[in-house]
Amino acid sequence: MTKKISVDAKTSKKEVVSRRKFMKGAAVAGVAAAGTLGVPNIPKAATVLKVQAAWGGGIFLENAKSYVDRVNKMAGGGLKIDLLSVNSVVKTSQMQDAVHRGVLDGAHYVPAYWYSKSPAASLFGTGPCFGWSAQEMLGWIHYGGGLDLFNELMGSLGLNLVSFFNSPMPAQPLGWFKEQISRSSQMKGLKYRTVGLAADVMNEMGLSVVQLPGGEIQPAMKSGLIDAAEFNNPTSDSDFGMQDVSKHYHLASFHQSQECFEVTFNARKFNSLSKEQQAILEYASEAENSNFYWHNTLRYADDLIKLKQKHGVNVFRTPDSVMKDQLKAWDMVVNRISAQDPFFAKVVKSQKTYAKKVMNYLLLNQPDYGIAYNHHFG
């Protein structure tokens, strides 16, 4: 007699087989998962960028370090800038070419340092004053078409670079002289140190310009190689020891009334980074913009007091007549170069368009802060 298997028994047998298959699969999956969990999570090595600064010390090297610190903290270990001081790999005059070729990944300097490549370079840092400060010049770079023009210049020069601009510098002093300057005629024939387009302007005013690196200014004035000089601000000038070779310091000038830092990177290297890392390099530059101004202006003010009280320096404000003569000299220089260089003229036109519109608002809206200052402090 054939034994009949009930429907329940058949179902039970299938369930047993199914459970065995499931358990076997689960066991395999469990082993695989355990194997995955057992492998240590080894972090990917950080991308290191070798960036040379144009500064061997002083407050500008502090500023460069501040930018680097922002990048390194935000990058979370995936990107790191190794900051090198002046002349570590190449001389300052060779830095841009070194970044272009990939000898350096980046550089921290000012546009005037490669002015010899194109007069238009100086317009992005040491150009004529159209009634604006470095704050507004940076506004033009970021929102007024300046960066597009800069990149056009890079293309025309065949330079493999990506640059960011930051740190609005206060107007640079007219500088250090052997006597108080009350009129422009006193400066004619003097051997004077400056850089960029400012050299053309001061030559136009009758000075004999010598372009020297910052560290060579004080020794040159001490030895008589130059008669007068400027660098940038009371802090840097104090560090160089200018108070030991002159006691007459003139603040306010249009020869370099708006300047900023340029942080430049090799374009191929930059493009090889992730979008997040590229953004960090860019936005760390923008953040440093505010930090520079807050940090440096207080230091400049403190060191100006020290120059007067501790070192007996006579501090003067450059006469308006001298600054008006500077503007006339700027007109001569700008018109002459514009007639020879269409791109230079194009950049100047763009700057004037921006400055006319923005400064019309600012000059109408801003009160004369000097009135309030004199009210409280005399």
Mind listing the pLDDT tens digit for each residue in 97-112?
999 999 999 999 999 8
Checking if the pLDDT of 12 tops 80, the result is no
**CA separation, residue 193 to residues 174, 255, 281, 375 (Å):** 10, 12, 33, 37
**Residue range 60-86: mean pLDDT, rounded:** 96
pLDDT score recorded for residue 368 = 96
**Is the model's pLDDT at 278 over the cut of 50?**
yes
> Which candidate, 274, 236, 277, places its Cα nearest to that of 60?
236
Determine whether 157 is exposed, middle or buried from the number of CB atoms within 10 Å of its CB (0-12, 13-18, 19+).
middle
- The DSSP code sequence of 40-63 is --PPPPPEEEEEEES-SSHHHHHH
Distance CA 166, CA 68 (A): 13
Rounded CA separation 127/133 (Å) = 11
The pLDDT of residue 44 is 63
Bigger pLDDT: 12 or 221? 221
Q: How far apart are CA 141 and CA 155, in angstroms?
A: 17
What are the tokens at 64? 């460069």
Helix, strand, coil in percent for the chain, rounding step 5: 60, 15, 25
pLDDT value for 153:
96
The one-letter amino acid at 222: K
Residues 6+ apart with CB under 8 A from 334: 128, 348
Asked if the model's pLDDT at residue 6 lies above 80, the reply is: no
Q: pLDDT for 321-361, tens place per residue?
A: 999 999 999 999 999 999 999 999 999 999 999 999 999 99
For residue 46, the model assigns a pLDDT of: 87
Q: What is the pLDDT of residues 50-60, one digit of tens each?
A: 999 999 899 99
Write out the H or E segment, with its range, that includes residue 79: strand 79-84
Q: Is the pLDDT of residue 84 over 50?
A: yes
CATH superfamily of 47-168+258-297: Bacterial extracellular solute-binding protein, family 7 (3.40.190.170)
Write down the domain spans for the chain: 47-168+258-297
Structure letter (DSSP) for residue 272: H
Using the structure block, give the residue that is written with the tokens 């007699």.
1
For residues 230 and 178, give the distance between their C-alpha atoms in angstroms, rounded to a whole number: 13
Q: What is the pTM of this model?
A: 0.85
For Cα atoms 137, 141, 145, give the angle at the middle one, nearest 5 degrees: 125
